[in-house]
Chain A
Amino acid sequence: MLRNVCTSILTIFSALLFAAAPLPAQTAPAHGANNSSSAASHPPLSERVVAYQIDAKLDAANHTIAASESLTYHNLTGQPQQTFPFHLYLNAFQPQSTFMTEVRLNGTRGSNPGSSWDPKHEGSITVSQFEVDGQGDLTDRMKFIQPDDHNRNDHTVFEVTLPKPIAPNAFVTFRMTFVDQLPEVLERTGYKRDFVMVGQWFPKVGVWWKGSWNCHQFHATTEFFADFGTFDVKLTVPQNEVTGAGGKLVSSVDNPDGTKTVTYHSEDVHDFSWTASPHFTDVEDSWTGSAGEVKIHLLMSPGHMASTPRYLHALKGTLKYFDESYGPYPYGRITVVDPPHGGLEAGGMEYPTLITAGTTWWMPKGLLAPEVVVAHEFGHQYWYGMVATNEFEDAWLDEGINSYSEVKVMSLLYGADTSVMKFPYGTFGEAELQRSSYLAVPDTDPITRFAWQFADSNAYGAVTYGKTATVLLSLEKMIGEDTLRRALHTYFMRYRFTHPTGTDFEKTIEEVSGQDLHSYFDQAISGTAILDYEVLDVDADRLNWYEKKSQFSPDSPGQMYHNSVLIHRKGDFIFPVDVQVKFSNGETVLEHWDGRDRWIRYTYDKMAKVVSAEIDPQHQVLLDSDLFNDSRTVKSDTHATRKLGNLWTFANEWLNQILAWLT
């Protein structure tokens, strides 16, 4: 109620005083972008550019949301602004949209290339009214634009040119009425039975960045980018719904018509998402870090309660690691949504102070998928949530750095070799997972490519997540694990609540490490070269080879050998490496090679024979595409081959038996 009075006053105030363009800088709304709401208890953490007030009503039967939105934008662009672009992400779920066209062509996280169109996946957002305080109804001025691909059927971005520009440092309030049609859950958003996960659901203004508007269409492989601000959201839902949202619950009021209105407030965030289901079990817990208590809400779906302690352990462990390694978590709350069975497409997604996880009723203990998802999605509270990089153009800065952080957390909590799978017969570690993912598509695209311009969705995933994580893990070899941790800490503290770039990230690492790393970054981040070193040859020959062998026993004391080790840089990626050479007398020699030439030969005249040579004996250079050729022994050891042969034989015998059952 107070909000309506305030906004009305603002409207009249603006209309009376600032009829002429541009609007002066001192215009400040009652709920302006820089005003913290009554729920705020501390000074703003971010430069609040936007203040959203949304009043939405869910029609649970038809999966629609009718809403009104008031967006107050603070023009901090330093210049007058007359044209504003807005995202309408839900319009991606239409057959001729750019998003769906790309899904059909290249696939994406939940769909394979060539997948057919299912009308249940149709979603939309329709803005029926668009007004600007002081400038009237501008609905007719709304125009869909397609800045990325000129696909006229794509309606995920529209722009409006105002009759009068908004002066620098002035405020402008947009008022919109819109209706969402949710798709059956697809790509993060939608419904499954009576569960709804509502993300990217309201008209959202673009970001003025690097001197122009940044408001890309929604693509199959892209995520999001928005300005920080405040959100005051009223949701009216059936009374039997259990709700959760990326905001603090301010009030919950039952209405006479069988609905209830829940109000959430959130600040210093750049998005707001929510969820509802009559079947959620709300598990509450808390964790205390350097910024105080963090209240935890797990919204668990039926049949998944066995995963509750697993989620909690992973979440608290991740909170602790991030708090100690990178910086404080300031929000005081985190909600984890566990999607119901059949709704996993909503899982594994991050929104400010709300993440979606994923599990099944049969999830084996040894498969740490719920833990991995929670560690990853919580990590996004830092790399995306607070350090709000542009996910369209620099996806590696959130997904990649976050995948690296995920490796560190999971290794710490569950063991380096057992953090993805821990079965009695075999194991799978997080670092290996990222490396395997990278090696599946290693050289089609550089890390820095815009997310929608990768060769396909597999290349996007492999390079953005897997390669970036592997690049950072290998960087530990150059600057040290602790230095990289300190660099990330500095990067976080310096750039939280801003929109940094890749250059900011690289410069911070160079600054903290005190090293010039541009050669590494050029190759690893901007390039596509493959790193592959191999031990080409190890050999020992008697120094007195010209004398008849029978005169000496080969191992007689005093026998000198000419030992030779040949190291080859097989790939084009130049990286300094250590080489460890072992001799038959137990002696070990450690060499360091800058890797600049194509090969190097080490020779040793000793009273011992070379036994083995190994590149990167600490096994830190995970970017190396072939770990097997990194070492070579003089003596053959067939254990591994026999072990695999044994497994293969056993599998073939089973196949034979199955066929023989037909006779």
Chain B
Amino acid sequence: MTTNERSGFFLSGAGLVWRRQRVLWWAFIINLVLAGYAARGLTARVGPVLDHSLASARLLVHSFHFAALLGLEDLPGHYLQMGPTHFYFSVIFFFFMLLATGGILESYWRDATLSTAEFFQSGGTYFWRFFRMVLFFVIALIPVGLIAWGLDAAADKIGDASVSPYVWAWIEGAMILLVCVLLMMIRLWFDMAEVIAVAESEVRSRRCLRRACTLLRRNFGTLFWLYFRVTLVAWVVVLAGLHVWVQHLHHDSILPAFILGQLIILLCMGARFWQRASETLWYRDHLARDVNHA
């Protein structure tokens, strides 16, 4: 495969996300609404404390004193304490995305805007397959966790024995890099399995995973580079966004900060959808080439 072709999937993936942006907007809005609900408990608690206080404007709006934030927790009401409800909203979003992934991939595979009914029908069709895949995914993460734990312990031991503090830092840095690569590889593997499940209506999760594994082994460079480039874009967006937020937005700028924060989230979600779209396009092309060869 030529560089041009590779760039093609990268860019056409972005084009596909742009064309079928409705799913992205829906996912973004639901994420925002659920996160907003999760935050509502906190704002409902701190509102009566802050809304009529001159200190809140002085310490939290015109500037931001970490001590004032901690002070809220030290008060008898423990206003910053998070309850399990915070996590419930994240779990709801997790299941929503598990349901939506089938619809998203169907939309990308067909390159068509699905009606709501079609979208959720696809989601329902693939839900249990993808749920099983999540379980396999978690199992696949265990060795990565063990590797990370082992390398971390080794870094601590070697670093502890070394006079230079940089030895530990280099080993930890290499470990983090390795773990990130492994995580991306595993995610890519499961992404491709999900694409295969949708593209070929394959009902057996394990067969999808086996085929995705073979596919990834044979086309690792191309697929990983495709996935990695989008990841890189996402991180650049996050870092640039946070830089603007922290360095250039005034403390009082609450609405602009909200908009910027949401833009960062939207672009990050967009990048994840972009990975899915690029992988789907690549697989369609791969199947077409297989047919031509045959």
Contacts and interface: CB of A to CB of B under 8 A. Distances in A.
A433 B252 CA distance: 24
A650 B265 CA distance: 8
Given A303-B165, A361-B166, A648-B43, A643 B61 contact: yes
B169 interface: yes
Contact of A646 (B70, B138, B254): B254
Interface stretch (B18-26, B52-60, B108-116, B210-218): B52-60
Given A424-B247, A428-B67, 15 more contacts: A361-B165, A362-B169, A426-B65, A432-B65, A432-B67, A435-B67, A436-B71, A612-B54, A626-B75, A637-B51, A640-B53, A645-B40, A650-B261, A653-B35, A662-B134
Contact of A439 (B53, B66, B74, B258): B74
B272 A661 contact: yes
Nearest to B259: A646
A62 interface: no
A161 interface: no
Interface stretch (B1-9, B93-101, B219-227): B93-101
A632, A645, A660: residue with the most chain B Cβ atoms closer than 10 Å: A660
A606 B8 CA distance: 75
Contacts of B56: 628, 637, 639-641
A656 B31 contact: yes
A630 B49 CA distance: 11
B43 A644 contact: yes
A427 B169 contact: no
B94 A662 contact: yes
A638 interface: yes
A342 B65 CA distance: 31
A657 B269 contact: yes
Contacts of A193: 161, 163
Given A302-B164, A633-B53, A628 B71 contact: yes
Contacts of B69: 426, 644
Contact of B64 (A361, A425, A637, A657): A425
A550 interface: no
12 contacts: A303-B165, A304-B165, A362-B169, A424-B246, A612-B54, A627-B55, A637-B51, A643-B257, A648-B38, A656-B35, A657-B272, A660-B97
Contact of B63 (A417, A653, A661): A417
A481 B98 CA distance: 62
Main secondary structure of the interface of B (DSSP, over half): helix
A440 interface: yes
A286 interface: no
B55 A659 contact: no
Interface in B86-131: 86-87, 89-91, 93-94, 97-98, 101, 130
Interface in B263-282: 264-265, 268-269, 272
User: Among the interface residues A304, A421, A654, which one has the most CB atoms of the partner chain B within 10 A?
Assistant: A654
A640 B50 contact: yes
Contacts of A661: 187, 272
B203 interface: no
A642 B176 CA distance: 36
B46 interface: yes
Q: Nearest 7 pairs between A and B by C-beta?
A: A432-B67, A652-B35, A648-B39, A341-B165, A640-B56, A631-B54, A426-B64
B42 interface: yes
A341 B71 contact: no
A652 B43 contact: no
Contacts of B247: 424
A629 interface: yes
Interface string A605-639: 00000001010000000000111111111101111
Contact of A663 (B50, B52, B60, B97): B97
